[in-house]
Amino acid sequence: MRNPVPLLHDFLHDTARRLPEKVALVAQKRRVTYAEIEASANALAHALAARGVSRGDRVVIFAENTVETVVAFWAVLAAGAVVSIVSPLTKADKLTYLLNDCRAVALIADGHLARVFVGAAARAPHLRTVVVTGTFDPARLEGLPGVVAWADALAGEPVHLPPPRRCLEVDLAAIIYTSGSTGDPKGVMLTHRNMLTAATSVLSYLETAEDDVILGVLPLAFDYGLYQVIMACAVGARLVLERGFAYPAQVLEVIVEEKVTGFPGLPTLFAVLAELDHAGAYDFSSIRYVTNTAAALPVRHIRVLREIFPNARIFSMYGLTECKRCTYLPPEDLDRKPTSVGIAIPNTELWLVGEDGEKLGPGEVGQLVIRGATVMKGYWEKPEATARKLRPGPIPGELVLYTGDLCRLDEEGYLYFVGRMDNIIKSRGEKVAPREVEDAIHAIAGVKECIVVGVDDPLLGQAVKAFVVPAAGATLAPREIILACQRRLSSFMVPKYVEILGELPTTNTGKTTIPPPKPA
Amino acid sequence: MSSIHARVRRFITTNFYVPPEEPLADEESLLDRGVIDSTGVLEVIAFLESEFGIAVKDEEMLPANLDSVASLVAFVERKRA
């Protein structure tokens, strides 16, 4: 019996009831049915509840794209708690920050990431439970609170029903951490209503259906990747989960083997595809849609995508974690407006404002404002940052999202992305806050000044470049700066280029500014 | 000229982050260790091609060939045989 007032995880319960034996997930050579996912999710939800996880508590998942991560996502929701999936590339310091920022009471983590999470968990006083998947050395985890292996946690717990439901649609379902110009990750708070609205809207224009087979090669810590799980489950489609695109040939073989119909990707991923000599040799006739977001699809990639996926409709899209998605370009408009990111998704409204807040007309560049039920509730415990983004809308008491992105609209109301108002670098499909990288470089002995920028890169989108000024008497080599960054930062944040300078140029007011490009 | 093994190890440990207190075993998965990611794999391939004069075909970009020091060494030896 479908719940008449559904929460996000009712997608799982409803579909498991309707299609219990359908293979929901293909991952690491395992085929898992909807019934199996629901049973495991129910058991884990009970296990979390038994360990004190209550409504509204935060639970962090620190793991790769695995069956367990998917199960854990649904389980945390079924326990009435708030789920936050953190990238497995996250280093210890940042993980410590995240665990403490949201005061997570439970951590579900991959055993092979122990070297990262052991230290972080030890420094998170609110943590009471650590559920570990895969293989691990128990001695390593000694001293951590409530350590339990996945199988042991689930054993003996009820599988047929989740714990009693306490959440409302307006309760938080997830916190998705995102970078900002200050460098401190901010937790985007999303309610069940936010996520149900977003999933329903996106499904409506993609027309995803039960017979779809969706490729999940994007990180589940990223909302774009996570929603493939949510949307597949909503319609009873199958998700083929891959760890990433590190080994493209393997992913391409899986696409053919599983007859994948939907390929959500990113420009960096499509760039890799474009460079493979034999991408054209695979039979990708099964792919009926390809989607792109995170950065604009270069026109040359559109051509390559058409060649590799001859039967696919190509969706160029744009959004931010703060509202999941803003726009999509209907595939039939791709040829005549290839650089547009399209029109507002169903159930969303958008407009542009100038510097004094006035609504702008076609052709004018201004800040994009988003209105609709996809808009986040705010940043977790960051009221000032939240106040900058959420401001009063047309109806008294409502809040709309000031995106911080500069865009323009054409005469037909199609949106074009112009640039970010802050200076976030988009590299490898990930956001890099220059300040976070600068902080890491400043921690190196002998660094006097540095400034970090994005430079155009055909493969990465933008590459991270650091200009560094050594302190008097110090000598620094680019190599050692890069190594020090590798130690402190996630891999995609590490500068690809480091230039050592005698000084950084400054503006009239004394602010350091970006050095001009060297003459060729 | 040092062995294939030595040259591969040197490349991995100087171009990617391997914490000194956790040395990388030859059999360990580079992906699991978080030593490399997807663009890292492309750098490894560029290294193999320039250092050892082999050509890596698209269909050879598989974990079995590339995901550990031992696999990389075996892969290079096979290609040069």
Backbone Cα Rg of chain A: 23
Structural domain boundaries in chain A:
10-19+31-167, 196-420, 426-500
Residue A176, pLDDT > 80, answer yes
Please tell me the distance from the alpha carbon of residue A152 to that of residue A143, in angstroms, as a whole number: 18
Residue type, A82: V
CB A143 within 8 A of CB A393: no
Helix (H, G, I), strand (E, B) or coil at A289: strand
Residues of chain A found within 8 Å of residue B44, distances taken between Cβ atoms: none
Residues of chain A found within 8 Å of residue B39, distances taken between Cβ atoms: 268, 428, 459-460
Fold of B4-80: 1.10.1200
- Read off the pLDDT of each residue in A134-154 and give the average, rounded to a whole number: 93
Under an 8 A CB cutoff, do A247 and B41 touch?
Answer: yes
Residues of chain A found within 8 Å of residue B61, distances taken between Cβ atoms: 247-250
Per-residue confidence at A507, pLDDT binned at 50, 70, 90? Answer: very low
Picking from B36, B58, B75 by the largest number of A CB atoms within 10 A of its own CB, the best residue to mutate is B58
Q: Which of A276, A460, A486 sits opposite B17 (nearest CB)?
A: A486
Pairing between β-strand A365-372 and β-strand A399-409 as defined by DSSP bridges: antiparallel
CB A140 within 8 A of CB A121: no
Residue A509, pLDDT > 50, answer no
- CB-based contacts of A305: which residues, under 8 Å, 6+ apart? A270, A273, A290, A297, A312, A314
Residue A459, pLDDT > 60, answer yes
Q: Which of B16, B22, B63 sits opposite A250 (nearest CB)?
A: B63
CB atoms within 10 A of CB A49: 21
Residue A118, pLDDT > 90, answer yes
| CATH of A196-420 given 3.40.50.410, 3.90.550.10, 3.40.50.12780, 3.40.640.10 | 3.40.50.12780
- Summarised one tens digit per residue, pLDDT across range A389-443 is 999 999 999 999 999 998 999 999 999 988 777 777 888 888 787 777 888 898 8
Residue of A nearest to B30 (CA): A246
- pLDDT for B16 equals 83
The token pair at A423 is: 């200076």
Q: Which of A113, A246, A486 sits opposite B38 (nearest CB)?
A: A246
Residues of chain B found within 8 Å of residue A113, distances taken between Cβ atoms: 34
- pLDDT for B70 equals 95
Residue A460, pLDDT > 70, answer yes
By CB atoms closer than 10 A (0-12, 13-18, 19+), residue A286 is middle
Residues of chain B found within 8 Å of residue A274, distances taken between Cβ atoms: none
- Summarised one tens digit per residue, pLDDT across range A333-378 is 999 999 899 999 999 999 999 988 899 999 998 999 999 999 999 9
A488 or A22, which is more confident: A22
Under an 8 A CB cutoff, do B58 and A491 touch?
Answer: no
Per-residue confidence at A508, pLDDT binned at 50, 70, 90? Answer: very low
Residue A512, pLDDT > 80, answer no
Beta strands in chain B (DSSP E): none
CA distance B46 to chain A (A): 13
Percent of chain A past pLDDT 90, that is, above it, reads: 71
Residue A332, pLDDT > 90, answer yes
A9-13, A94-98, A171-175, B33-37: range with lowest mean pLDDT: B33-37
Percent of chain A past pLDDT 70, that is, above it, reads: 96
Place of tokens 């540095």: A450
A501 or A192, which is more confident: A192
Per-residue confidence at A277, pLDDT binned at 50, 70, 90? Answer: low
CB of B37 less than 8 A from some CB of A: yes
A53 or A488, which is more confident: A53
Residue of A nearest to B59 (CA): A249
A8-12, A143-147, A236-240, A376-380: range with lowest mean pLDDT: A143-147
Residue B62, pLDDT > 50, answer yes
Under an 8 A CB cutoff, do B37 and A460 touch?
Answer: no
Per-residue confidence at A513, pLDDT binned at 50, 70, 90? Answer: low
Question: Which H helix or E strand runs over A306?
Answer: helix A299-308
| CATH of A10-19+31-167 given 3.60.15.10, 3.20.20.140, 3.40.50.980, 1.20.140.10 | 3.40.50.980
Per-residue confidence at A497, pLDDT binned at 50, 70, 90? Answer: very high
Question: Which H helix or E strand runs over A400?
Answer: strand A399-409
Q: Which of A116, A278, A487 sits opposite B58 (nearest CB)?
A: A278
CA distances from A32 to A240, A241, A278, A382 (A): 11, 11, 31, 39
Residue of B nearest to A251 (CA): B62
Under an 8 A CB cutoff, do A247 and B36 touch?
Answer: no
Please tell me the distance from the alpha carbon of residue B55 to that of residue A307, in angstroms, as a whole number: 25
Please tell me the distance from the alpha carbon of residue B15 to that of residue A45, in angstroms, as a whole number: 42
The token pair at A391 is: 């401001």
- Summarised one tens digit per residue, pLDDT across range B41-54 is 878 988 999 999 99
Residue of B nearest to A269 (CA): B38
Under an 8 A CB cutoff, do A88 and B36 touch?
Answer: no
Q: Which of A89, A113, A247 sits opposite B61 (nearest CB)?
A: A247
Residue of A nearest to B60 (CA): A249
Residue of B nearest to A249 (CA): B59
B37 or A383, which is more confident: A383
CATH number of A426-500: 3.30.300.30
Residues of chain A found within 8 Å of residue B41, distances taken between Cβ atoms: 246-247
- The size of chain A, in residues, is 520
Collect all residues from A whose CB is shorter than 8 A from any CB in B. 88-89, 112-113, 115-116, 243-250, 268-269, 272, 276-279, 428, 459-460, 479, 483, 486-487, 491-492
Structural domain boundaries in chain B:
4-80
Residue type, B38: S
Residue A204, pLDDT > 90, answer yes
Residue A506, pLDDT > 70, answer no
Shared fold status for A10-19+31-167 and A196-420: yes
CB of B57 less than 8 A from some CB of A: yes
- pLDDT for A364 equals 92
CB of B49 less than 8 A from some CB of A: no
Can you say whether the dihedral through the CA atoms of A376, A382, A388, A394 is positive or negative? Answer: positive
Under an 8 A CB cutoff, do B17 and A483 touch?
Answer: yes
Residue A65, pLDDT > 90, answer yes
- pLDDT for A212 equals 98
ipTM score here? 0.74
Under an 8 A CB cutoff, do A115 and B22 touch?
Answer: yes
Residue A207, pLDDT > 60, answer yes
A415 or A272, which is more confident: A415
Place of tokens 């599988």: A159
Please tell me the distance from the alpha carbon of residue B45 to that of residue A206, in angstroms, as a whole number: 36
CA distance B27 to chain A (A): 14
Order of strands, sheet of A147-149, starting from the edge strand that comes earlier in the sequence: A147-149, A129-133, A106-110, A58-62, A82-86, A172-178, A186-191, A378-379
* Residue A141 CA, distance from chain mean position: 28
CB atoms within 10 A of CB A81: 27
- pLDDT for A274 equals 77
Under an 8 A CB cutoff, do B39 and A277 touch?
Answer: no
